[in-house]
Structure formats: structure tokens, C-alpha cells
Amino acid sequence: MRYPALSDAELEGRRVFLRADLNVPLENGKVADDTRIRGVVPTLRYLLGNGASVVIASHLGRPGGSRNPGLSLAPVADRLEDLMDMKVTFAPDCIGARVSTLRSSMRPGDLLLLENLRFHPGEKEGDEQFARQLADSADLYVNDAFGTSHRAHASMVGVPRILGGGYAGLLVERELEVFQERLESPERPFTLVLGGAKVSDKIPVIENLLTGLDRILIGGGMAFTFMLELGLEVGNSLVELDRLGAAGKIMEDARGRGIEVHLPRDIVVAPSTDRSDLSRTVPADSMPDGEMGLDIGSGTVEEFAGVICSSSTVVWNGPMGVFEIPPFDAGTRGIAEAMATASDSGTFTVVGGGDSARAVAEAGLNDRLGFVSTGGGASLKLLQGDELPALAALRGART
Ligand code: AMP
């Protein structure tokens, strides 16, 4: 699917409504990690450089539809001023009379950052009236919030509908280049690495990619549903009983197509996540009763790393264990390192955002990987072959 690009837009003297993803972590009222703010800078420079003025809108955290001063975008405005090296006006709200006045007095080259969209319930509800207020006096819409593009929120879908469609920002364009172009006909062998807790989220990804895949590596909590289906004991590990049949069918389909499916050969077990002092590694066919599998073992890391490094394209989504709690992060770190090593020798490596992207960033490996997505849920939907509602709205007709 192709979407209008910024290079198609007539920007001179126009007022742009830019939906960005400035949902950054805050600590003591300051931006703790400015990666997402940096991410939108190229699009801002492009828009301003081509004669537009830009109203920037974003959400931050989960204020639940009401004003929460701890989740204000004010610290983001300060950081954005530093990064852009120019004045950024900060609006006290995202809609209303005062914001309207600020918007109507904008001149080409001006930047105005609106307050947190989610201070209003209309944002998440996709409310039409709220969207109309957001669209107020804007000439065109640009979406650079890839990580929220699977949500039909007012600023994501309502505003472009009202403005007759819109344009993909540079960050969104780069995500689409990877997920829709490069991965459409990947260089083979093509390996998919899946982990995380939810089997239900990942099964549609395997189903969609099955025809072009060569290897599937399954770790994380989701592996236990597959292992149980194969008749192995999994103790108290996470399982989705209602997905046993689907897991069995995937393995059968994969076998029928000559796709290798690798499951963990060894598992790090403990009675619970808070008893890491009792953790130990056991073979996958000898999991003890009453304990939980919380990470893949080092033998599995070695096997998976070998497959990753002998692939031409690798896509990874989902941690290999409960990576938030050491020592159950070792498997995830091992896979992140294998991805980096593979990249160094020419494999095209893609990390599908969310937890796996966090693990890669924590290991300081971002720069060595082919592409790290800014959207976990959104990239998963693209890998499932779904069109993202906010991107579909860019093609829309005026309402
Ligand atoms: P998901 O959103 O499905 O990608 O799941 C991510 C979550 O899976 C993370 O919070 C991990 O802690 C969790 N996870 C990974 N491996 C396991 C496991 N073996 N048991 C329980 N939770 C896990």
C-alpha cells in the first residue's frame, strides 16, 4: 500500500497539523530519554524548510482523559527547543479558545506544540467533534506517529478524515520502506524470531509470512504453548490453552513447507519471578513440576544465534524471557547480541519495536542493527499483513 509522501505536499505558506509520537519517559519533570523527540526532527526541519508552520500534537502516558500536570508535554517543548535551536511555543491545551488564538497567529516557520491529547477523553474515543477542534485552521495533515498508527484515535484518524487525507512523515516513511518494501521480498534465508507472552498476537504474523519464511525461532512465554502441544511437560509456565490447536497447525504447516521451527532446547526455571535465587537451567524435556520457565537457556541462545547468523534477513519481535527481571534477561540479551553480530556480517536485521527494541537499546546495540522499529504494536500489525487505520486515513476523502 502506498501513501502520500511529504515530497508530494505543497507546503509553502501552509499550516500543518503534525501528529508526532512524543510519548517520552519523564523523570523529575525532565525528559529522561529524548529518542522520540529526535525522531521527529527531520520531518520538522523538512516542513519548516519548505515554508510551512507546524502545529505538533502528541500524547504522553496514560492520563485517562483528564488533565494530569505530571504528564504535561511542557518538558518536551523545552527539549524540542534545544534540538531545533529555535523558539517552540507551548499551548496550555490542545483545543479551546486560547489555542485557537495561538494557532491563528502563526507565521511560516513557526512551531507550536499542543498539550497532551489524552487530557481529553475524545482522543482515545476517536470523537468526531474533538477531531474537528484539533483540525481547526490546519491546511494539511502529516502523520509521523508510527507507534500509534494502529489506533483509530481522533488525532490519528479523525483529523486526516476531516482534512481530506494527509501525508506520511519521514519517520513513518522509513518504517514503511522496511515493513512494506524490503520485507515484501526478503533476501533468503529469511528467519523470524518470536517471543513475548502472547501467542495469540504472534500467530497471525507467522501465518502471514509463512510463504516466504525459511526458519522460525520461538522463545519467551509463548514457546510453552508450542512445547505443550508437542507433549512436553511445562510445569507452571505460561500457556494459552485455547491456542494449542493453532500452535499445532502452524508447526504442521511449517513442516509441510520445509520451514525449520526451532523451540528452546533448554529453559531457565524458578518457582516464581521473585525467586531468582533458585533459578537453574534444565533441558526442555525435563521441566520440573510446580516451577515456571522464565527464560531460554544458554544452549538455546547458542542454537538460535547460529541460525540468526546464517540468515540473510532476520525479523525479531518479543523478548525471550522475563527480561525486566535479571537474571531472566540473559536470553533476550543473547539474542540482541546475535542480531548485532549477524548485522556486522551483512544480515539485514529488523527489531519490531516494543520490548525487544527496549532490550536492544539497553544493551547499547541500536547502531549495529539494520532497523529498530519505533512501534511494537504497529509493526506487529504490518507483519500480520493488516493495514494500519491511521495510514489508511491518509488516503481518505474529505468529510
Ligand atoms: P508480548 O507483549 O506478548 O510481546 O509480551 C512481552 C512480555 O512477555 C514481557 O513483559 C515479558 O516479561 C513476558 N515474558 C517473556 N517470556 C516470558 C515467560 N517465559 N514467562 C512469562 N512471561 C514472559
Distance 295 CA to ligand 1 centre (A): 9
Distance 258 CA to ligand 1 centre (A): 28
Quick check: 399 pLDDT over 70?
A: no
Mutate to test the pocket of ligand 1, among 224, 238, 300 (most ligand atoms within 8 A of CB): 238
Architecture of domain 183-383: 3-Layer(aba) Sandwich (3.40)
171, containing H or E segment: helix 170-176
Rounded to two decimals, the pTM is: 0.92
Q: Domains of the chain: which residue ranges?
A: 6-173, 183-383
User: Is 202 an active-site residue?
Assistant: no
What percent of the chain has a predicted confidence (pLDDT) above 70? 99
User: Is 377 an active-site residue?
Assistant: yes
Distance CA 72, CA 15 (A): 24
User: Is 118 an active-site residue?
Assistant: no
Residue 393, C-alpha cell as written in the block? 486515513
Quick check: 75 pLDDT over 70?
A: yes
Question: Do the domains 6-173 and 183-383 sit in the same CATH topology, yes or no?
Answer: yes
Greatest distance between any 2 Cα atoms in the chain: 70
pLDDT at residue number 397: 61
Quick check: 398 pLDDT over 60?
A: no
* Any atom of ligand 1 within 6 Å of the Cβ of 293: yes
- pLDDT grade for 396, boundaries at 50, 70 and 90: confident
Query: Side by side, which strands form the sheet with 15-20?
Result: 89-90, 111-113, 53-57, 15-20, 140-144, 167-168
User: Is 198 an active-site residue?
Assistant: yes
Omega cis (within 30) before 189: yes
Distance 4 CA to ligand 1 centre (A): 36
Quick check: 83 pLDDT over 80?
A: yes
Q: Across the strands, what pairs with 5?
A: 168
H helix and E strand count, the chain? 15, 17
Distance 368 CA to ligand 1 centre (A): 25
Nearest protein Cα to ligand 1, atom 12: 322
Over the stretch 235-293, which tens digit does the pLDDT of each residue have? 999 999 999 999 999 999 999 999 999 999 999 999 999 999 999 999 999 999 999 99
Over the stretch 347-386, which tens digit does the pLDDT of each residue have? 999 999 789 999 999 999 999 999 999 999 999 999 999 9
Architecture of domain 6-173: 3-Layer(aba) Sandwich (3.40)
Atom of ligand 1 nearest to the CA of 220: 16
Cβ contacts of 339 within 8 Å, gap of 6 or more: 308, 314, 316, 349, 351, 360, 365, 369
Residue 148, C-alpha cell as written in the block? 500509534
Quick check: 48 pLDDT over 80?
A: yes
Find the distance separating the first CA and the last CA of the chain, reported in whole Å: 22
Catalytic pick among 122, 334, 352, 354: 354
pLDDT at residue number 1: 77
Atom of ligand 1 nearest to the CA of 295: 19
State mean pLDDT over 33-53: 96
pLDDT at residue number 239: 96
Over the stretch 161-195, which tens digit does the pLDDT of each residue have? 999 999 999 999 999 999 999 998 999 999 999 99
The helix/strand/coil state of 280 is: strand
* Any atom of ligand 1 within 6 Å of the Cβ of 294: yes
Helix, strand, coil % over all residues of the chain, rounded to 5: 45, 15, 40
209-228 burial, b at 16+ Cβ within 10 Å, e below that, comes to bbeebbbbbbbbbbbbbbbb
Over the stretch 205-232, which tens digit does the pLDDT of each residue have? 999 999 899 999 999 999 999 999 999 9
